[in-house]
């Protein structure tokens, strides 16, 4: 294990496939939402409900487009995240556990994320890296290695310094 001072910063972002899926879904939802709002103007009765639905779809699409910029950075000091919901950070000394969070429903997709449990604070899920499977295809084949990297940084940074004296 490397010494904490030799742990370079590592940044995790959504994979290219995850970016593409969020981009297409975001564009589709924004376009559909705007189309519904335009159509609602000609609908007459029920236009208010259609406008609300269209604005909701467009807002969800904008959220997906903005969510493509999520990332997690780890270094010898701790972990920092950035997502649509804001930024989070904590020092490794505050972390009590790095846990795999599995969202398993009765069918596809199955999703994995990483949960950081903190001493004296709320736990939080890292926005990246994540993984999911659809029809036995992983959208992040490096997820296991990325989880191992995060765990190794946590362990290396919280281990007491070893004496090199005989």
pLDDT of 64-112, one tens digit each? 677 657 889 999 999 999 877 778 899 999 999 998 888 766 665 678 8
pTM above 0.85, yes or no: no
Residues of the chain falling short of pLDDT 50: 1, 163-165
Q: What was the pLDDT predicted at 13?
A: 80
Res 45: pLDDT: 67
Q: What domains can be seen in the chain, in order of their start residue?
A: 7-158 (2.30.29)
> How much of the chain is in helix, strand and coil states, percent to nearest 5?
45, 25, 30
Give the start-end residues of each E strand in 7-53: 10-12
Nearest CA to 63 out of 88, 34, 82, 84 is that of 84
Q: How many CB atoms lie within 10 A of CB 115?
A: 14
Task: Give me the pLDDT at residue 165, please.
Answer: 47
What is the 8-class DSSP label of residue 93?
A: G
Give the single-character DSSP code of 47: H
* pLDDT at 130 (0 to 100): 83
Cis bond upstream, residue 109 (ω within 30): yes
Closest CA to 39 of 47, 29, 49: 47
pLDDT at residue 1 in the model = 46
């Amino acid at each position: 294990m490397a010494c904490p001072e030799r742990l370079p910063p590592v940044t995790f972002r959504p994979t290219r496939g995850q970016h593409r899926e969020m981009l297409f879904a975001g564009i589709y939802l924004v376009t559909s939402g705007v189309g519904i709002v335009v159509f609602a103007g000609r609908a007459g009765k029920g236009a208010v409900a259609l406008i609300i639905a269209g604005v909701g779809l467009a807002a969800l699409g904008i959220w997906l487009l903005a969510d493509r910029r999520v990332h997690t950075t780890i270094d010898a000091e701790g972990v920092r995240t950035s997502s649509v919901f804001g930024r989070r950070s904590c020092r490794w000394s505050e972390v009590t556990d790095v846990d795999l969070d599995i969202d398993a429903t009765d069918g596809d997709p199955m999703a994995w994320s990483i949960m950081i449990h903190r001493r004296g604070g709320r736990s939080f899920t890292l926005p990246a890296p994540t993984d999911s499977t659809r029809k036995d295809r992983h959208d992040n084949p490096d997820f296991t290695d990325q989880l191992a990297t995060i765990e190794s940084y946590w362990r290396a940074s919280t281990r007491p310094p070893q004496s090199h004296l005989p």
